[in-house]
Chain A
Amino acid sequence: MVRLKHFSGSSESLHQNKGHIMKKIIIIMLITTGQLYAATLDTVRKNGKIKCGVSTGLAGFSAPNSKGSWKGLDVDFCRALSAAIFGRADKVQYVSLNAQQRFTALQSGEIDVLSRNTTFNLTRDTVVGINFLPVTYYDGQGFMVRKKDAITSAKDLDGASVCTQQGTTNELNMADYFRTNKMKFKPVVFESNEEVNQAFFKGRCDALTSDKSGLASERTKLKNPQDYVILPEVISKEPLAPAVRHGDDQWFDIFKWVIYAVVEAEELGITSKNIDSFSKTTNPAIRKFIGLSEGNGRSLGLDEKWAYNVIKNVGNYEEIFNRHVGKNSPLNLDRGLNQLWKNGGILYAPPVR
């Protein structure tokens, strides 16, 4: 299922394209005849794995490493879910999806959760038939340009050709931004992310637009990252959140509280390294959190040690962030909005009790 794509490897693109059409047909057939309404938790337990929809490769969020295993912030939330259900983080099957396929794959039951740098908005949350979970990364859309073009502001982009991925919120925000500022532009859109980036780096476009984290991620892949600059403007709010399909409240609740637990652990000061040192703690919040006093697990239909397993196997939000997009990663992004509420960010988990 792991399919990687390179622009130059055209034969692979060919397969992808054919597979894509086949996939569409299969999805339609699945929607048509599939039995979707068994409780997702039961299905997942029976299969012994979670089918997690990820991107086709976005470094820091979801991308396979040199050994072919998926790594990233989005990936870690699927691993956290796996740890909560199975007690170990590796019971996940990754399904690589492009922007186009992601919602139909979720609707049709091809995947159990979608954790693929997807922007939370009203249309998707309602008529598209999916439910968004808490935001795992607060992002905003920006522009990347070539340094030698000497563009310093997005306001200088009047008349420019701008590359972006087809069917994203970026495509809509870009149109809105240029319309509001009474500027003209030529959109150049492709189905796959790799083609978009290649088109920009080879000079087909003057600017590349995407979520700022995504731009930073693409830039790290280059041999000469210093030749590109990300413009200061943030033209939209892009809260990236995982999603599940409508109609299974228990499944929705489980994933929701797994995400909250990851944030709460950072606030409580629990990390994957020190979690075992809390086994004799008297702090009621921590006792509840790691399952020393019972209740949380029963409410969710999980083992009482679910949150312990999540943190032990995957880590708290800070660990996940730093590992993949923060200071311990090539992206080296600032925490920014993704800081705990206590530290000036907007990450805030309701009480895990």
Chain B
Amino acid sequence: MIKKITIRFLYILFLGAIVFVPLYFLNQNIDKQNISTGFHFLSQEAGFEISESIIEYNSYMGYSRALLVGVVNTIYVALLGNFLALILGLLLGVLSISKNFLLSKFCSFYLNFFRNIPLLLQLFFLYGIFTDILPAVKRSTPVFGIIASNRGVAIPWFSSGWASVSLLITLVTSIGLIFIVNKWAKNITTTYKKILYPIFFALFFFAQIELITRFFHFEFPAVRGFNVRGGLNFSPEFISLLLGLVLYTGAFIGEIVRSGILAVDKGQWEASYALGLSKIQTLRKIILPQSLKVALPPMTAQFLNLTKNSSLAVAIGFPDFVSIANTTMNQTGQAVELVLLIMGLYLFTSLSVSGVANIINYKLLGARQR
């Protein structure tokens, strides 16, 4: 008993030493060199501009604001990237087990190709498309109102930012309405539904679009001065980063989905066909829900990977959190503090992603085991 306690005590002491001894030396060494420590630099004026930001930012705002811009950019890329990668992965996974020879071969080629080339190279390649292949901005011509040049891609869009918000609201309310109407009209016959529904929703949707275009001015991008003005602009850095992350992670997710589908017993397919379900119905109602159980944990790992890989942005000049933290590190010299911040942010985002996935996983498994 005493032996056990002693061992535990020593163990705790050892762990404590691992944490505190380096911290002690760190503090001492930094003190001796008169390097300032602490986080008060955060309130100082940053003084540098950031190429793209979702929230408002100016060079006379503080370092904390600049870093926040980075956090928002990172989360934006991660959310959008994960969503698109999931869709791409599902598509690839399902198509790669298709009976169509061409389709399944294409998918397996894609999966192997993108999974086996380092992401950084893919990013450089995609970025190279913009700088080497697309025309210079002054020589670019709009195609269907879209301008693609070495300054990025600009699409026609509303001039006011509120238009995007109202468009999003329209989309959400439309989907909500579908559910409500569906519930309310449960006993209407299917043929009736098939004709009436699309007409109803198309009318509703276009009415809203019409209203939005009335209120907000629709703009076509055009080359003015040095750059493309008007419309919605996506920088080469953003597009190559997002595309790179989606294509790469999508391949991994595709492989996971494929293995998830194959993990479901063949009998399930046969039983489902025997009951008269079509192939799509079988996949949607029988196979995918069961394969999710197998696929979810590795898929979570891919979501985490994408989030962390977004820090490669620094190589192609997209201002993500690491990029802005690097700049801050160099302007202020606060390397230790900023590395701690970077570690903290990625730890936080990774733990939240895996936390959410764990909840879903638990619910899924729980429901099945009961």
Listed in ascending order, the chain A residues whose CB lies under 8 Å from chain B are 10-11, 13-14, 17, 24, 27-29, 31-34, 36-37, 99-100, 103-104, 107, 123-124, 126-129, 157-161, 166-168, 171-172, 174-176, 178-179, 185-191, 195, 198-199, 202-204, 206, 245-247
B51–A191 CB distance below 8 A: no
Q: B22's closest neighbor in chain A, by CB?
A: A32
A10–B131 CB distance below 8 A: no
A204–B22 CB distance below 8 A: no
Q: A166's closest neighbor in chain B, by CB?
A: B327
Residues of B within 8 A of A13 (CB): 120, 124, 315
Q: How far is the CB of B264 from chain A (nearest CB, A)?
A: 38
Residues of A within 8 A of B25 (CB): 32-33
Residues of A within 8 A of B22 (CB): 29, 32-33
Interface string of B40-82 (1 = CB under 8 A from A): 0100000111110000000110000000000000000000000
Residues of B within 8 A of A32 (CB): 22-23, 25-26, 29
* Residue of B25, B29, B132 with most chain A CB atoms under a 10 A cut-off: B29
B60–A202 CB distance below 8 A: no
- Is residue B364 within 8 Å, beta carbon to beta carbon, of the partner chain? no
A27–B335 CB distance below 8 A: yes
Assuming the contacts A14-B121, A159-B225, asked whether A129 and B326 have C-beta atoms less than 8 A apart, the reply is no
Residues of B within 8 A of A103 (CB): 330, 333, 335
- Is residue B369 within 8 Å, beta carbon to beta carbon, of the partner chain? no
State A187–B227 Cα separation when bound (angstroms). Answer: 13
Across the interface, B32 reaches (CB within 8 A) one of A10, A27, A37, namely A37
B51–A128 CB distance below 8 A: no
Assuming the contacts A13-B124, A159-B227, A160-B226, asked whether A31 and B317 have C-beta atoms less than 8 A apart, the reply is no
Residues of B within 8 A of A166 (CB): 314, 323, 326-327, 330
Q: B132's closest neighbor in chain A, by CB?
A: A202
Residues of B within 8 A of A157 (CB): 226
State A206–B136 Cα separation when bound (angstroms). Answer: 11
A191–B151 CB distance below 8 A: no
Residues of A within 8 A of B227 (CB): 159-161, 186
On chain B, which size bracket covers the interface?
Answer: 35 or more
Residues of B within 8 A of A245 (CB): 33
Listed in ascending order, the chain B residues whose CB lies under 8 Å from chain A are 22-23, 25-26, 29-30, 32-36, 41, 47-51, 59-60, 118, 120-121, 124-125, 130-132, 136-137, 150-151, 225-227, 236-237, 312, 314-317, 319, 323, 326-327, 329-336, 339
* Residue of B32, B33, B118, B317 with most chain A CB atoms under a 10 A cut-off: B33
State A53–B312 Cα separation when bound (angstroms). Answer: 25
Residues of A within 8 A of B329 (CB): 100, 104, 167
Q: How far is the CB of A20 from chain B (nearest CB, A)?
A: 9
19 contacts between A and B (CB under 8 A): A10-B124, A14-B120, A24-B339, A31-B29, A100-B330, A103-B333, A104-B335, A107-B35, A123-B331, A129-B30, A157-B226, A158-B225, A166-B314, A179-B60, A191-B326, A195-B317, A199-B131, A246-B32, A246-B33
Assuming the contacts A195-B317, A202-B132, asked whether A247 and B33 have C-beta atoms less than 8 A apart, the reply is yes
Residues of B within 8 A of A127 (CB): 35-36, 41, 332-334
B48–A171 CB distance below 8 A: yes
State A217–B131 Cα separation when bound (angstroms). Answer: 22
A203–B131 CB distance below 8 A: yes
State A307–B245 Cα separation when bound (angstroms). Answer: 57
Residues of A within 8 A of B131 (CB): 198-199, 202-204
State A206–B22 Cα separation when bound (angstroms). Answer: 47
Assuming the contacts A204-B131, A206-B226, asked whether A172 and B331 have C-beta atoms less than 8 A apart, the reply is yes
Residues of B within 8 A of A247 (CB): 32-34
Residues of A within 8 A of B47 (CB): 172, 175-176
State A128–B29 Cα separation when bound (angstroms). Answer: 13
Residues of A within 8 A of B35 (CB): 107, 127-129, 246
State A122–B82 Cα separation when bound (angstroms). Answer: 43
